Structure 1
């Protein structure tokens, strides 16, 4: 098989697969359609559904098909053609070539945030891959907002734990109107007598010793004695915590390194 026929076969298979997946999905604005009427090539049409939910079809004019399935739209156009006396029998076929009306929003700390069309079932990891993956400021978790049977619910997924455990039960299936939001990674802050004071990504189970290393270590005047952590409690009150062996940092902790007196 030469390249031309191979590429044509691949294109036809892709269009067939898309139409099969879209068969039961309601059509909507932006969807691209290829419409044909058996035995009437002059009525063939490549078109997109307008924002008003209509297409303009030869002989019968504007036809509202938004919200209909492909089969329902075929039946409606066929009825208008025969009911209007244009054809005795109209066998209409609709192939969906681009499904733009079904979209999922992927927002937050991803490489390419935006709204993406879905062709059939898509999971959270599918949509993250389409959006370029989690960005450098992204955290381990994603918040998924879904509406099912008129009820909107929110679920937080720990992406790292899901992948490391190979337990994909929380890799939810997504539908039109769903949203995935990748949270920003938590940070800690270090200042005082360290080489590189500033804010840094907080890794899980991070110790103060690790934080000092990320900050470049102590300056010649710095000391590990009397290290303090500023931490806000659940009420928002700032507490000063003396650093003890084994203490782990929490999001937004501020580590203060004192100057040595000697």
Structure 2
């Protein structure tokens, strides 16, 4: 083989190595945050016995030989490398470990949208700054039985994260709580609280409790009072926080509470 050809092969090899290094650096520069379900390969320089393929658990943990569980969920790949290296040092396994992590399979780059939405399921994060309102839209929006609050759970900086956000404010674009979602987050929309109305109501039944709903508004939701009923003879059966059931005679301006049962009595005249 001629020296010229050898030099060409050498140049190609150097270029390929440089490209591989650049690609690896670029993958870490994206600052991808590890999430439950991700598969990773951990390698320790000059210590092949400590190399391991692992899957990030639902709690954001990987079990690593000799040092046990390491919390890496929510960390970038660089931060996860540092966390495992520190664990190896703390466990007196290696003095100066050089840890490298490669993302083998990305399973956590999605968000679960559950509860009272039109299309519950898992949805991919199409961008790195996808917000709660966009994810609710991807799920087809909320149902008519949805509560006005969505609960966001996940991990941030390796710690459990939970926050409730106001849906009407989100959809109006006036909320500062339209959070940027992270891989592995769950958006849960609960069923709206309800009350029940019966007796001399035009349409007895179960109805949604609107925000700051008064007794008068609850009666209107049930179609109003029949000709035989009296708005002055409304009774509410309510369960207190201590579990005791009480019956009260409310004012029409009193606020209805979730679980209230309204009984419209007949007029005495």
Give TM-score, length-normalised by structure 2: 0.59
Q: Distance in 1 between matches of 2:250 and 2:162?
A: 37
Do 2:197 and 2:205's aligned partners in 1 also have CA atoms closer than 8 Å?
yes
CA 1:254–1:24 in structure 2 vs 1: closer, same or farther (change >3 Å)? same
Residues 27 and 65, structure 1, Cα contact 8 Å, conserved in 2: no
Structure 1 unaligned runs (5+)? Answer: 1-18, 31-50, 55-63, 70-98
Matches of residues 72-151 of structure 1 in structure 2 within 5 Å? 101-119=108-126, 120-151=128-159
Q: CA deviation at 1:25?
A: 3.1
CA gap 1:53/1:207 in 2 versus in 1, 3 angstroms = same
CA deviation string 1:21-72 (max 9, x = no partner): x954379999xxxxxxxxxxxxxxxxxxxx9879xxxxxxxxx899998xxx
Equivalent in the alignment of 1:86:
none
2:238 maps to which of 231, 237, 248: 231
Alignment partner, residue 246 of structure 1: 253
- For the 8 Å contact 1:226–1:243, the answer to whether it is kept is no
Look up the SS of the partner of 1:227 in the other structure: strand
Deviation at 1:255, TM superposition (A): 0.8
Runs ≥4 in structure 1, deviation > 6 angstroms? 26-30, 51-54, 64-69
1:155 aligns with 2:163: yes
Which secondary structure does the structure 2 equivalent of 1:110 belong to? coil
Q: Distance in 2 between matches of 1:187 and 1:110?
A: 18
Kindly report which structure 2 residues correspond to 1:1-262, keeping only aligned pairs within 5 A, or say none.
23-25=30-32, 101-119=108-126, 120-164=128-172, 166-168=174-176, 170-262=177-269
Contact 2:133 2:171 in 1 (8 A): no
Matches of 2:36 and 2:242, distance apart in 1: 48
Preserved contact between residue 143 and residue 181 of structure 1 (Cα < 8 Å): yes
Shift of 1:156: 0.9
Alpha-carbon shift at residue 103 of structure 1 (Å): 0.9
Q: TM-score scaled to structure 1, two decimals? A: 0.61
- Provide the residue aligned with 1:85 in structure 2: none
Q: CA deviation at 1:260?
A: 2.5
Name stretches of at least 5 consecutive residues in structure 2 with no aligned partner: 1-25, 42-52, 57-75, 78-105
> What is the distance in 1 between the residues matched to 2:33 and 2:237?
54
Judged with a 3 Å threshold, the aligned counterparts in structure 2 of structure 1 residues 178 and 260 are, in CA distance, closer, same or farther, namely same
Separation in structure 2 between the aligned mates of residue 189 and residue 217 of structure 1, nearest angstrom: 14
Q: How many residues of Structure 1 are paired with residues of Structure 2 in the alignment?
A: 186
**Corresponding residue SS for 1:258:** strand
In structure 1, what is the equivalent of residue 15 of structure 2?
none
